[in-house]
Amino acid sequence: MHFHLDYYPFSLFSRQPTPFVTTLHGRLDLPEHQSVFATFSSVPLISISDAQRRPVPDAGWVRTIHHGLPERLLTPQPVRPGYFAFLGRISPEKALDQAIGIAKRCGVPLKIAAKVDAVDRDYFEAEIRKLLTPPDVEYIGEISDGEKSIFLSGAIALLAPIAWPEPFGLVLIEAMACGTPVIAFNRGASPEIVEDGLTGFVVEDERGAVAAANRLSRLSRGTIRRRFEERFTARRMAREYVVVYRSLIEFELMRSRQAVAGASFR
């Protein structure tokens, strides 16, 4: 069995013989996580990045498996890039205000395709709305998967100035699927996903992002798409999960045989 329910299955399923594994998708640096993973230290876990593991290094990690996308879900489109893109959701940890600052300092228009969750509505109204000044800063709103290929292909780069230890960052590989470079802040898993100088640039702050924008012409959009195909497809992700499933089944079979053998000597 494969769970995506955080630590809720641990107590029940650690007491039954069917092999199981849990993929953790959230941040693990909150205080309560220490006692949870100390209590259930033998529960097998999948991390979605090595960075996600850092707060709880002694948990029962069996493998890191990066997320993947269907290979043809998003593809490069024949459009001329003419703006920076911000994709995902508007919240304090996504730091849209810094993306706007980067775009303005570069003199490049910014298009924002992002949702505002109810919990972030007050933040949006108080901190972000005043910064939405078309045509230089255009707020499109949330878009569908069917709209992302055109949106991302039309971007000179995706800006991801995150302000939290993000465990993965799906928008980064969505951009790569379209051949679009990424400029990301050095937080969480960004350095694992973005290959600095190849698929984008990993920077420390706004100043570094502006400097990186001047180097975007050195990157090959064809190479970025190829690196997506090599590293971040759903097929690659599925193959890695199958390896984990088989190893857990084999381990449980071996443990069962040892228990039977031990019983025969008593």
DSSP letters spanning 34-100: HHHHHHTTTS-EEESSHHHHTT-TTS-EEEE----B-TTTS---S----EEEEEEE-SGGGTHHHHH
Name the pTM for this structure.
0.94
Alpha helices in 129-220 (DSSP H): 145-153, 170-177, 190-193, 206-213
pLDDT at 266: 57
Which mean pLDDT values do the consecutive 10-residue runs of the chain (266 residues) have? 94 91 94 91 96 96 98 98 98 98 98 98 98 97 98 98 97 98 98 98 98 98 98 98 96 74 57
Question: With pLDDT > 70 as the criterion, what percentage of the chain qualifies?
Answer: 96
Query: Tell me, what DSSP letter sits at residue 154?
Result: T
Distance CA 47, CA 66 (A): 8
Residue ranges of domains in the chain: 2-66+233-264, 83-230
pLDDT at 221: 98
Nearest Cα neighbor of 228 from 193, 176, 178 is: 176
Map residue 177 onto helix, strand or coil.
Answer: helix
Residues 6 or more apart in contact with residue 251 via CB below 8 angstroms: 19
Cis peptide before 167 (omega within 30 of 0): no
pLDDT at 95: 98
Residues 6 or more apart in contact with residue 119 via CB below 8 angstroms: 91
Contacts 24+ apart (CB under 8 A), 197-203: 198/223, 198/224, 198/227, 199/223, 199/224, 199/227, 199/228, 200/157, 200/158, 200/172, 200/175, 200/224
pLDDT at 251: 83
**Residue 230 burial (CB < 10 Å; 0-12/13-18/19+)?**
exposed
pLDDT at 255: 74
Distance CA 17, CA 39 (A): 19
pLDDT at 259: 63
- List the CATH code of the domain at 83-230: 3.40.50.2000
* Cα angle: 149, vertex 72, 64; to 5 degrees: 100
pLDDT at 265: 53
pLDDT at 30: 87
Q: Is the dihedral of CA 46, 37, 170, 108 positive or negative?
A: negative
User: Mind listing the pLDDT tens digit for each residue in 182-203?
Assistant: 999 999 999 999 999 999 999 9
pLDDT at 132: 98
pLDDT at 211: 98
